[in-house]
Amino acid sequence: MGKRQTSADKLYQYNISKRLTFYSNFNLNFNLNAFNLQLSTFNFQFSIPLMLYNLFALIYIFGPFIGLCFVFKKVGIAPWKALIPIYNIVLWIKICGKNWKWYIYFLIPAINIFTFLMLVVETAKVFGRHGFWEQTLAVIMPFAYIPYLGLSKLEYQDPATHPAVKYSQAREWLDAIVFALVAAVIIRGNCFEFYKIPSSSMEKSLLVGDYLMVSKMAYGPRSVITPLSFPLVHNVMPFSKGECESYLPWIKLPYHRFPGTSHVKRFDATVFNYPDGDTVCTAFQSNASYHDLVREFGRETVHSDRQRFGKVVVRPLDKRENFIKRCIGLPGETLEIKHQQVFINGNAIENPADLEFTYAIRMKESMADFVNSLVRMGTVLDDVEMAKMQKDASFFHSIGISNEDCNMIGIYQYAFMNDSQIAAIERNVNFLDLEPMEYTHADSSRLVRVKIMSTLDGRSVIDTLRGTFKALGIPDKEFELMFETYTLPLTSQTKAKLESSGMVAEIMPLSAMQGYSGLQLFPHAAGYSWSVDNYGPVTIPAKGKTIALTADNLPIYRRAIEFFENNTLETRDGKIIINGKETTEYTFKMDYYWMMGDNRHNSADSRFWGFVPEDHIVGRASMVVFSRDQDSRKTRWNRLFKRKL
């Protein structure tokens, strides 16, 4: 087995920070433990929180129109007309004295929400209610305010005969701010929200600099869980360096999801709350999992060393970081990865069109060739290695490889070794960490990723490493080439460009063998010798599905049972005890999903932190609304309004 890597190494090798930043999150979320009330007469079961949520939704939607019945009666319009869809809006606009443009506004998605709230305010005005706080209440609680107007003794003031009341400029600004905040809460929490792609974990399907519209209605809007939150901010206050939370955890409401237009499907680009983000170290946020840090350094160290790890914060579900990945595995399916190919229930699935894997690349021009060319030109450079790397990076960029991807070209070193040489280093050399790949040469020597784990200065490390290779019989040429091998994520199209360029000597796929990943992959337990390219099989939990529990598979399902579904779980004398009762099986209460990035070797996804519960799902990425190339700073016009993600 390879040496266990530190958390910094995990960031270094797999770029664990795949956080999805976004501008504001106003989900209306509620999460009490649902319990059932059985009506024995009809043998029906109703979830009381579900009933309350749906009742609230019905009141919020239909309350204003029930109130319009009383308003219409005051105005002299038959009350029943307030219950006729479309016609009631026409009459409502008319009694508020608004023109035909308002009819158009009601036909435009999202704009119609603003228009509805504006019409509520206009209704208050025609009844002579011009106070700031009263109109604010009308916007926040239209389901109660409109009935109040209809049932009160206030008289209707026809806009055609009564002059409009003029407000001060300060008052107009206050009205606009309140109105915008309330509308933003409703739209962003229930309809859609805009997100920016900050990293390359989904390339080349979603690019760094893409701005996405994420539909909350696709899977159904999730009700708010943490209502005491600062507006327009997700989980930390601006300019606080991640140290000040933007919410108060005093009230936590139960999870509930309203009906949506669809459900999570395979290959959906899905936004969700980071499942491993329930606890974070503020020095890392989601760049490194708190649970990984605890496994690496111990709980006491992580909690006590604030200078190194920052403050330890426990976050409610809706305040965990937002990630975006592609849904690969659905509830109840069995997933396995063999030689980078994903299999579902034993069948290979179609790969995304712009799927990326990482390759090791050796150029035709060696370092010696580059130095000779400099000598012939009479050029003297302080850092020849950096100059060679910059030259090659410029070539990579010219064929469409981004600067972010080019930044990792010199991170790793590679060498070819036979199995006995690999075993000897694993046994006897403690300053090297090896990750053997499946790629081999004709002489059966295997490509190995070599990581130097030493605090010695550069020259001492090089001399020691050269001596080690020589003692093991590894050719000196292989030692030299080790530092001339680049690492790049490539799509099949970009790989073909490299192969036809005439600049590359060898392109080697990096498919990691099993047995060298330590505990960094889910389920982070001994006995699972999986790798990112050879993983599983694992059965994804489904709501209502019963899975037999054993000592072998318990690590896979323990977090879902214990944390996501709020059970107590312990093992005692080889027995599994859930909620105080011995058991050999468990029936799941929620559906779970398996998410993976399209940039398979540069994505922290379910291979690292496991299943995504249904209550963590936020929405589906439905469209690129804007895109800006982070290298050239130019707008990518060809990506605007792209819907196939």
Distance CA 620, CA 270 (A): 5
Q: What is the 3-state secondary structure (H, E, C) of 237-252?
A: CCCCCCCCECECCCCC
pLDDT at 428: 86
In a domain, 539, yes or no: no
In a domain, 120, yes or no: yes
- Judged by average pLDDT, the poorest of 206-210, 373-377, 553-557 is 373-377
Reference 15, options 442, 506, 306, 356; nearest CA is 356
In a domain, 346, yes or no: no
Confidence check: pLDDT of 372 > 90 = no
How confident is the model over 27-31, as a mean pLDDT? 32
How confident is the model over 125-147, as a mean pLDDT? 90
What's the pLDDT tens digit per position in 252-294? 888 989 889 999 999 999 999 999 999 999 888 888 899 999 9
How confident is the model over 71-77, as a mean pLDDT? 93
What distance lies between CA 339 and its chain's CA centroid?
25
Do 284 and 380 lie in a common domain?
no
**Both tokens assigned to 110:** 């999202």
Do 203 and 174 lie in a common domain?
no
46-50, 93-97, 316-320, 591-595, range with greatest mean pLDDT: 591-595
In a domain, 313, yes or no: yes
How confident is the model over 405-432, as a mean pLDDT? 86
Do 561 and 436 lie in a common domain?
no
Sheet holding 504-509, edge to edge: 485-490, 357-363, 504-509
Do 315 and 380 lie in a common domain?
no
Q: What is the 3-state secondary structure (H, E, C) of 337-385?
A: EECCEEEECCEECCCCCCCEEEEEEEECCCHHHHHHHHHHHCCCCCCHH
pTM of the model: 0.81
Instruction: Please state the domain count of the chain.
Output: 4
How confident is the model over 131-160, as a mean pLDDT? 90
Do 403 and 427 lie in a common domain?
yes
What distance lies between CA 561 and its chain's CA centroid?
22
Confidence of residue 455 (pLDDT cuts 50, 70, 90): low
Do 443 and 410 lie in a common domain?
yes
In a domain, 13, yes or no: yes
In a domain, 522, yes or no: no
Distance CA 560, CA 586 (A): 11
Do 551 and 606 lie in a common domain?
no
Pairing of strands 269-273, 210-215: unpaired
What's the pLDDT tens digit per position in 346-355? 999 999 888 9
Do 314 and 432 lie in a common domain?
no
Do 365 and 312 lie in a common domain?
no
Reference 162, options 250, 96, 240; nearest CA is 96
Confidence check: pLDDT of 442 > 90 = no
**Both tokens assigned to 523:** 């389920």
pLDDT at 47: 54
Distance CA 531, CA 126 (A): 68
Do 603 and 498 lie in a common domain?
no
The CA-to-CA distance between both ends of the chain, in Å, stands at 39
Confidence of residue 431 (pLDDT cuts 50, 70, 90): confident
pLDDT at 458: 59
Please name every residue paired with 45 in a beta bridge, in sequence order, or none if there are none: 38
Confidence check: pLDDT of 332 > 50 = yes
**Residues 146, 68 contacting (CB under 8 angstroms):** yes
Confidence check: pLDDT of 542 > 90 = yes
CA distances from 61 to 54, 102, 217, 513 (A): 10, 20, 16, 56
**Residues 446, 436 contacting (CB under 8 angstroms):** yes
pLDDT at 100: 87
pLDDT at 322: 93
What's the pLDDT tens digit per position in 193-225? 889 888 888 888 898 899 999 999 999 999 888
Q: Give the DSSP letter of residue 554.
A: H
Give the domain-ending residue among 152, 170, 190.
190
- Judged by average pLDDT, the poorest of 102-111, 248-257, 538-547, 588-597 is 102-111
pLDDT at 238: 85
Distance CA 404, CA 393 (A): 11
Distance CA 495, CA 145 (A): 63
Q: Give the DSSP letter of residue 564.
A: I
Average pLDDT score, the chain:
85
pLDDT at 459: 65
Q: Answer with the residue of higher pLDDT: 314 or 33.
A: 314
Distance CA 427, CA 425 (A): 5
CA atoms within 13 A on the CB side of 614: 23
- Judged by average pLDDT, the poorest of 309-323, 400-414, 551-565 is 400-414
Please name every residue paired with 554 in a beta bridge, in sequence order, or none if there are none: none
Do 109 and 53 lie in a common domain?
yes
DSSP reduced 3-state for 88: helix
In a domain, 278, yes or no: yes
DSSP reduced 3-state for 148: helix
Confidence check: pLDDT of 33 > 90 = no
Q: Answer with the residue of higher pLDDT: 113 or 422.
A: 422
**Both tokens assigned to 150:** 């209809």
Distance CA 192, CA 183 (A): 12
Do 556 and 485 lie in a common domain?
no
Confidence check: pLDDT of 424 > 50 = yes
Confidence check: pLDDT of 435 > 50 = yes
Confidence of residue 40 (pLDDT cuts 50, 70, 90): very low
- Total H helices, total E strands in the chain: 20, 27
In a domain, 592, yes or no: no
Distance CA 629, CA 208 (A): 7
Please name every residue paired with 196 in a beta bridge, in sequence order, or none if there are none: 21, 211
> What values do phi and psi take at 480, rounded to 5?
-65, -40
Confidence check: pLDDT of 25 > 80 = no
What's the pLDDT tens digit per position in 586-642? 999 999 999 999 999 989 999 999 999 999 999 999 999 999 988 788 999 999 999
Domain housing 96: 44-190
What's the pLDDT tens digit per position in 513-522? 888 777 889 9
| Number of Cβ within a 10 Å radius of residue 396 | 23
Give the domain-ending residue among 459, 489, 509.
509
- Degrees to nearest 5, angle at CA 500 with 497 and 504: 95
pLDDT at 19: 33
